[in-house]
Structure 1
Amino acid sequence: MQSAQYVLVSLPLRIFDDDPLTALTATVGRDNGETLPFSVPSFKIGTLDALVQNADELAKLNTACEAAVAKVADSLKDILDGDEDKAAQQKMVNDKPTDHYLRTFQWNKVRYRADRPLGELIDNLQKELQNIDNDVKAKFNQYSGIKTTLAALQRKQTGNLATKSLTPIVDPSLLVQDSEYLETHLIAVPTNARKDFIRSYETLAPMVVPRSSVQVAQDDEFTLFAVTTFKKTSAEFLQKCREQKWTPRQYKYVEGGKEQEQRELERVAREEKKVWGEALRLGRTGWSETVMILAHVLTLRVFVETVLRYGLPLEFVCALIRTSPKQVKKVKTALDSAYSYLGGNAFGRDKRGRVTKDDASLTSEMAGLGFGAEGSEYTAYVYYEIDLP
């Protein structure tokens, strides 16, 4: 299923003779996307300096929102073993499809009172984004940690003799225990080097007990041997084994160790399942919250930039264009073709809102005053693309 892409556009009402949405629909073209009304409340307009500062803060917050949304999407995909379809099913906003939320967006007046100063609204949105981002990050880090622990325990049960737990394999009677001078070492030797080991282990280091080698176990890759040496030369013997690509295994007999390992594996498996459920639920919440915050941030961006571009009285139309990644360039081209003459609109206009020749050169200056999306090419009208993973 092809993913949707969205575009937010704001244009001054004075440039339209007829219904603005009808005109916008015709400009975009029904084959390129669906044009829908997008409601923007009347916020408190502060000073010009404050608006310019608001525009800068919103641009940065917009970038942070997109990063947070992307991280939640990656986390959901990761927890669902990379299954894109299953991850897509979790991407709901207020228990409804994300597309439905954006198409029917309404400013949350209870959560973000429109009569409050823009700076206060921006601060609230920023704090909410940081909180949900921290919560999601902490929970998914917790899940990642316990998943790694479980995988390590499972490898101990199912790996080869160079990695797996030796507790259920080694007979403690094979080990020299409680000796002041001697100790037994367990060495995992690649099976194709088995003969080399038997022939040479006694001369690898001084004070290796002759004929002390005992084969403990064998699998498809390794043979496990027990060898006894004097403690004073143990370090040298083990180092020589490593140089031969033979793997010394750490092992200490513990009464009931086999049962203890199994209980630990079962405990961690239960914990992993529990935290997986918590991470999935928080991932769903994280997606819903970050997308909602992003939509509100974009609404504020549209409002602030509309004021800066088109001036007062504030009469404009805002539309959401639902398109696709393949068609979005066609949408942009169509809009540019119809409205590029607005490039100098903030500085000088004729009665129809068209740029006078002397003001057209000022469009490049506008890009440096905070107009247009951060890091993107300057547009002659208010234009934002919404990219959701």
Structure 2
Amino acid sequence: MATRYWVVSLPVQTSESILWSRLQDSISKQAFDTPLYRFNTPELRVGTLDSLLSLSDDLLKSNTFIEGVSHKIRRQIEDLERVSGIESGALTVDGVPVDTYLTRFVWDDAKYPTMSPLREIVDSIHVQVAKIEDDMKVRAAEYNSVRGQLNAINRKQTGSLAVRDLSNLVKPEDIITSEHLVTLLAIIPKYSEKDWLSSYETLTTYVVPRSSKKLYEDNEYSLYTVTLFGRVADNFKNSAREKGFQARTCINYKYCDIREFEYSPEAQDSRNQEVEKLVQDQESMRSSLLQWCYASYGEVFSSWMHFCAVRVFAESILRYGLPPSFLAAVLAPPVKSEKKVRSILEELCGNANSIYWKLEDDVGVAGVGAEAEAYPYVSFTVNIV
């Protein structure tokens, strides 16, 4: 599948079928590696010249918006598939691959009546795509909220001791609780372990000798217990801070976090149930969002192609005049054949004024707007990816 297509139109001077045959022959002989397709544009309601000129001013901006929403949904799909471990498949529009829908485009008159004013069709497409974009923002925000909660929990479960939840590291036998005694947990940087072990017993009175035991360690910190009389717990914390074992309430603190800890199987079960529910919610929302994105991508891409049909029609009228007499086509030239294809199109354009549209060889095409002004025929690019 090509990722970049040109939508072009050439003025018909004799017969549309003859022009199409000449284009096919030229492409097959001089740029045979360039796929070529008819772009079936219906005869739409022209309206007044002023309305066409006004519409033309908005076409580029609207195209940028619609194309952007299409790419946003595609990127969301790719992200969801990657997280889910799903192999990325070909996206479809109305049951056919995206490139097939473009190259075999058929106008949906039931959805966009050809007798409607062009402005009305364009506004209808814009409103529909904007609604889909708003809906995606809400759905994605809900999913990302649950995903963020799970990621935060996972960081607490698997991160360093400075940030993680300690409940799954502490066993009931590690905690001594009685009428008078209390066990504190201390998270000590590894470089301060010797200092801690040599001084914790003297930080205050009534500390149980040799009561500090290491429960766990990671690359940066070690988790210790210390047992003392409950009535001196605050004194112990203050003395620890004075010695430099400062309580860690943010990452900038230098030494340790001294916490009171109460083991609670009920609280642990509640946390586990909360995590299980979040996991289930995340999977359900991910699946739902992915299915919605598949369907919405098809809707947006279909709307985009109808918009392109309006655009090529309106710009062709402004370029070639009335009555409408032009041939619209879709090409997908590889980079090495682009210059040759441009030359073929310009030759077939047969416009006596084409010399005024030519670009200097060293000037590149800046984008859709530049393309529309750069050639003696209508031309703009559709970037699928």
Q: Give TM-score scaled by structure 1 length.
A: 0.80
**Shift of the alpha carbon at 1:7?**
1.3
* Structure 2: segments with no counterpart, 5+ residues: 360-366
**Shift of the alpha carbon at 1:69?**
1.2
Aligned residues, how many?
363
Distance 1:82 1:157, change over 3 A: closer
Matching residue of 1:104: 104
SS at match of 1:36: strand
Matching residue of 1:378: 374
Asked whether the 8 Å contact 1:6–1:320 carries over to 2, the reply is yes
Matching residue of 2:384: 388
Matching residue of 1:218: 216
**Shift of the alpha carbon at 1:379?**
2.1
Asked whether the 8 Å contact 2:197–2:212 carries over to 1, the reply is no
Matching residue of 1:335: 345
**Shift of the alpha carbon at 1:273?**
0.9
- Distance in 2 separating the partners of 1:387 and 1:24: 23
SS at match of 1:81: helix
Residue by residue over 1:314-344, the C-alpha shift from the partner in whole angstroms, topping out at 9 and shown as x without a partner, is 11111112344665455335434554x63xx
Matching residue of 2:54: 53
| Match among 261, 270, 275 for residue 260 of structure 1 | 270
Matching residue of 1:294: 304
Matching residue of 1:369: none
- Distance in 2 separating the partners of 1:225 and 1:378: 73
Matching residue of 1:240: 246
Matching residue of 1:349: none
Distance 1:54 1:216, change over 3 A: same
RMSD over equivalenced CA pairs, Å? 3.5
My pick for the range that moved more, 208-217 or 252-261, is 208-217
Paired residue type of 1:320: V
Matching residue of 2:34: 33
Asked whether the 8 Å contact 1:175–1:184 carries over to 2, the reply is yes
> Where do residues 1-389 of structure 1 align in structure 2 (5 Å cutoff)?
3-14=2-13, 19-29=18-28, 30-81=31-82, 86-87=87-88, 89-171=89-171, 185-201=184-200, 209=207, 211=209, 214-215=212-213, 217-221=215-219, 222-227=221-226, 230-231=233-234, 234=237, 237=240, 240-242=246-248, 243-247=253-257, 253-254=263-264, 256-324=266-334, 327-328=337-338, 330-336=340-346, 338-339=348-349, 342=351, 354-355=352-353, 373-374=368-369, 376=371, 378-389=374-385
Paired residue type of 1:265: V
Asked whether the 8 Å contact 2:12–2:327 carries over to 1, the reply is yes
**Shift of the alpha carbon at 1:83?**
9.5
- Distance in 2 separating the partners of 1:379 and 1:218: 71
Q: Give TM-score scaled by structure 2 length.
A: 0.81
Paired residue type of 2:113: R
